[in-house]
Structure 1
C-alpha cells in the first residue's frame, strides 16, 4: 500500500491523502487552503491524470479544508465514486457555496455520494476500510485502511475529549496520520473552555463569535452560560445537528436543545445584540460572520475568535488591528492527546497533518516515530 501526500502534511489546510493498493486508487479528503485563496496553493497538489485514474474519494467531514475541492476535482478529471456520511453529504453544498467556484459547485451537485456510517466496514478493491466517529462534528469520521497485510489510520479531524461529540477508538495500525492542528498545545480542554466563559462574563454587552456552522457552534452552545444569539439561517443546521443524537455524548442533546430554543435572533442590518452572537463562518470569509465582523469593528463591539485565523481573512485583519481577541476553543487534539492516540495505535510511523513542517518537528520528541519533513508530492510505503 502506497501513500502520496497531495496536501495537508508539511502545511496547514487543503488536506488530501492519496492511497494506492492493488491497482485501486483513492483520496482521503479534498480540502482547500483558505490562506491561499485565489493563489496556486489553494487546491491540492494533484494532476488531471492522477484525478482521472482515481477510483474514489472518501470525505471525512464537510469543513472547507477537507471537502471544498470536491468540485475542482470533478472539473479536472475525476469521475469516480464519492463516499461520505449522510450528515456530511447534507452539509457539503453549503461549504462549496462559500469556498468553491460556481462551476465547481455545479459539478459537485451532480455527484450522488455513497453513504457510509460510523462503525461500517466496506472495501474498495483490495482495500478494506473501517470508520468511526471522530468527536469533531456530527457526521465526522476517522478511517482505517488495510491492504497487502499492512494498515493505515487516518484521523481526519478528531476530538478525543469533546464534551458534546463522541469519538470511537481507532484500531491498531502500522502507519497513523494524526490531526496536529494544535501543534504542541498542551492546555487541557477544560482550561480552554473556562477561559472563554470568563471572557464572555467580562463582556456583558455581548460579543461577536465567528464560528463554523458544524462542530464548534454546537460545542460553544453547550459551553456558553451568558445570553446567546444566532443568525436565523443557522437555526435549521444547528437543530439538525442537535437531533443527531447518535453522534453526541449521552444526555447532551436536551441541554443543547434548550439553549438553542432560548437563543435570540440577529440578522444583517440590525443592532448587534447584548449576547454572545454565533455567526458562521469562523473567519469572516463567508456567511453572516462577514457582515457581523464589519459591524462590530465599526461599532467598537467586542469580537472573540476561537479557531483557526487564516492570513488575510477578515478575522485576521480585526485581530491584527486590536479589534478582536483570540482564545482557542478545543476542537482538535492537544499534544498529550495525540501522543496517547499514537501510543494506543501501536503504529511504528506517524505523520502529522494540518500543520507545517516546523510544527511537526516540535512534536517528534513527544510522539516517537513521527516523520516531520514530508511535504506535498512525497510518496511513502505503508
Structure 2
C-alpha cells in the first residue's frame, strides 16, 4: 500500500473521496445553497453537524492527521463544492481548527472540541478586499483603533460564537480570539456576489467581547502566510468542485438541447469547448493535489491560478451552452458561476500569485 505521508495512505484518501461523494449524492443539493442565499440556514446548519459527525472538520487537528490531513480536506472540499455547500468548511477545517490547536495551552480544548463536533462556529475575519497580503494589512492590536480604517468582514459572523482576527502585536503578529459580546456582534450584512453571509465588523461592538491573543511572540508573517496558503489550497479545491459541477450541467444539457434538428452535443465546436473545459478542470485538480502534499508558496500559487482558469472556463462554457437560460435564476448554472467567482477572489490576484511562482523559480535558478 502506497502512502501519501506517514499518517495517511492513498487507500485512505480514496475511501474518503468515496464517502464524500456518497454523502453529497445522498444529502446535498444546490437547493441547500439556494435556501441559504435566501436567508434560511436551517438545512445548511443541520448538514454542517452531519459533516462534523463524520470527523471531517477536525481532520487537521493533532489528534487526527494534523498538517498531513490537508490532502483529505481538499478532497472533501472539492466534493462539497460540487453541491455549492454554503457552510465554511475550508476556513474551519484548514485554518480555524489547526491554528487554535497550534496555540492551545490546554485552555482551548473545550472550544476546539465544540468546533470539531459542529456545536460551535468560529468565524475568520479579513479585510473586505480579501486575506491580508502583508503584516501591515493585519488589524491594529487595539480593536477599537480599527474603526474608520479599512473595512473588515467575517463570513457567518451572525451564527458564530467567536471570531479569529489576524492583527499586529508587540512581537510580530497574533490571532485575536474574540468571543461573542453579550450585546451581539453588531455590524451590517455585506454579502458578496454569491450572497455569502459576510458581515462588516463593528469594531466598537467586537471590542466588547472577551478577547485572547494567540501566538503572540511566536507568530510571524511567514507563519501566517503559510497558514493562509494552506487555506487557499482548500479554497482552490472548492473552486475545482464548483467548476466540475458547472461542467457536468453543461454536458448534460448538451445531450438534451436541440438545434437544427439534432442535439448540440453532436456539434464539433460544442465538443471542443467541453473538452477544453474538462482539461482545464483536470489540470486544476492535479495541481491542487500537488499543493496539498507540499503547500509551498509556488505550488499553492500555481494551483490557485489554474483553479481560477478552470472556474472561468467551465462556468462560462456552461452558461454559453445553456444560452440565455444560463444567466437566469431558474437554473443552477448561475449558482455555480457566482460561487466560483466569489471563492476565486479569496485566492488573490493572478499577478500576485504569478509573482510567487516567478520568485521561487528565480531563487531555484540562483541556487543552481
Shorter-normalised TM-score: what interval?
A: under 0.3
TM-score (normalizing by structure 2): 0.26
More helix by share: 2
More strand by share: 1
